């Protein structure tokens, strides 16, 4: 391996959180808005713009949160083994709980108050006496991650701490990859069919869970797969031939879905069948994710040293960037989105500046020792 394990994982985290920010930018062009910021560009965008960002959202969303849960799970067993269950949970409650409460009260509520001031904001119709304060928005990840931490710690407490790295057990092969994708893809479809529940949850203060809850089985599987991988160093022992085969398959699926997305965007007669496309996409989620996740591990293990330590440093700041980016994105979109420039430029400029400011500010905040302990 040409680069240290912790270094390449930090590099991947930087890329993933940057993509999380990137995927949230186009939401400002849709009916949902980004925390009240809705940019009115309906007359200046065509079907290609709509079709591209429908696919763009799907492609990135297929692997960014799966990767975050997978990497998070990887570090849990050795940390629990080193600290013990109770000390580990106390640390996690601090590292996840404080950013959750602080992020909800300060970052999210400020985003809501500011977003409702944007021109044509859907939040402006809500009386100031009853705004959707204390919404989880992107902080749903912290809630779910802590729940998974609790489950793992309960398992260790009942079973006993038996952490020991054993590289004699090979990494999962094609059969395991295929079966897990089939099962989880089917579960994604079943969960997505509960649309009324997810819509109701999305409209509540648990809105982030409403947007992501249908993927919960996939996220749980990947978190605990990460835990299991830690026992056997599976991330570093992937079959490169299997990875490349599945990666090509993932690219084929994404290109096929791009074609379908364009077909639906350019042909209004197909809109009645759009639900079928949604269910197909949900079923294929794990099939797309497995190839991209494994390829990212393989590529950064082999090429991570090209970036020196700057990308790994960004990875260290990525948690803070994730927590604060909601507000940064509201500010940038309000600054860029209403000055009459081309929608494509709005997306590119907003994405670039939101990523740079979020990571830069997170890095500055982490210079404060007390903040560095939780971010």
CA distance 12 to 67: 9
CA distance 347 to 146: 33
Number of residues that make up the chain:
375
pLDDT for the residue numbered 40: 86
pLDDT for the residue numbered 134: 82
323: its two tokens: 């927590």
pLDDT, averaged in runs of 10, over the chain (375 residues): 66 97 92 88 81 93 97 96 95 96 94 92 80 86 97 94 89 96 97 90 86 94 97 94 97 95 82 76 96 96 86 96 97 93 93 98 96 93
pLDDT for the residue numbered 219: 98
Q: Are 307 and 10 in contact (CB under 8 A)?
A: no
Q: What is the pTM of this model?
A: 0.94
Cα angle, residue 351 at apex, residues 347 and 353 outer, rounded to 5°? 120
Looking at the chain, list the stretches that DSSP marks H as alpha helix, in order from N- to C-terminal side: 5-24, 47-61, 64-83, 85-92, 98-102, 109-115, 140-159, 174-192, 195-202, 207-212, 216-232, 240-266, 274-303, 310-316, 318-336, 343-365, 369-372
CB atoms within 10 A of CB 340: 8
DSSP assigned state of 34: B
pLDDT for the residue numbered 2: 39
CA atoms within 13 A on the CB side of 261: 20
Angle 64-83/85-92 helices, nearest 10 degrees? 140
Residue at token pair 């001031």: 117
- Each residue's pLDDT tens digit, 189-216: 999 999 889 889 888 888 888 889 999 9
pLDDT for the residue numbered 6: 78
- Each residue's pLDDT tens digit, 84-109: 999 999 999 999 999 999 999 999 99
Q: Are 51 and 266 in contact (CB under 8 A)?
A: yes
pLDDT for the residue numbered 246: 97
pLDDT for the residue numbered 308: 75
Q: What is the H or E stretch that residue 286 is in?
A: helix 274-303
CA distance 33 to 327: 14
pLDDT for the residue numbered 131: 67
Q: Which of 227, 235, 76, 224 is nearest to 171 (CA)?
A: 235
pLDDT for the residue numbered 46: 84
Partners of residue 34 on adjacent β-strands: 37
Q: Which of 240, 265, 314 is nearest to 58 (CA)?
A: 265
């Amino acid at each position: 391996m040409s680069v240290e394990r912790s270094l390449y994982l930090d590099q991947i985290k930087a890329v993933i959180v940057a993509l999380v920010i990137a995927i949230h930018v186009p939401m400002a062009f849709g009916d949902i808005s980004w925390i009240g910021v809705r940019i009115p560009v309906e007359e200046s965008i065509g079907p290609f713009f709509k079709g591209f960002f429908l696919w763009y959202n799907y492609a990135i969303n297929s692997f960014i949160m799966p990767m975050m849960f997978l990497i998070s799970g990887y570090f849990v067993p050795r940390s629990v083994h080193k600290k013990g269950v109770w000390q580990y949970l106390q640390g996690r409650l601090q590292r996840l709980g404080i950013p959750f409460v602080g992020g909800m009260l300060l970052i999210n509520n400020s985003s809501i108050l500011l977003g409702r001031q944007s021109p044509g904001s859907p939040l402006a119709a809500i009386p100031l006496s009853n705004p959707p304060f204390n919404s989880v928005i992107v902080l749903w990840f912290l809630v779910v991650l802590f729940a998974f931490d609790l489950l793992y710690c309960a398992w260790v407490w009942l079973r006993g701490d038996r952490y020991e790295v054993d590289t004699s057990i090979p990494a999962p092969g094609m059969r395991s990859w295929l079966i897990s994708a089939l099962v989880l893809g089917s579960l994604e479809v079943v969960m997505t069919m509960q649309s009324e529940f997810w819509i109701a949850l999305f409209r509540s203060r648990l809105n982030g869970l409403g947007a992501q809850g249908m993927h919960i089985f996939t996220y749980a599987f990947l978190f605990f797969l990460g835990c299991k991988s830690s026992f056997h160093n599976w991330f570093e022992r992937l079959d490169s031939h299997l990875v490349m085969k599945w990666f090509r398959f993932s690219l084929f699926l994404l290109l096929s879905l791009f074609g379908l997305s364009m077909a639906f965007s350019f042909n209004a007669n197909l809109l009645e069948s759009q639900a079928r496309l949604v269910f197909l996409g949900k079923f294929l989620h794990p099939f797309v994710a497995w190839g991209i996740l494994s390829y990212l591990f393989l590529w950064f293990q082999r090429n991570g040293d090209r970036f020196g330590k700057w990308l790994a440093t960004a990875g260290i700041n990525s948690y803070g960037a994730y927590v604060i980016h909601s507000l940064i994105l509201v500010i940038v979109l309000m600054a860029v989105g209403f000055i009459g420039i081309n929608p494509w430029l709005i997306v590119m400029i907003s994405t670039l500046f939101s990523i740079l400011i979020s990571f830069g500010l997170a890095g500055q905040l982490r210079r404060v020792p007390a903040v560095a302990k939780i971010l």
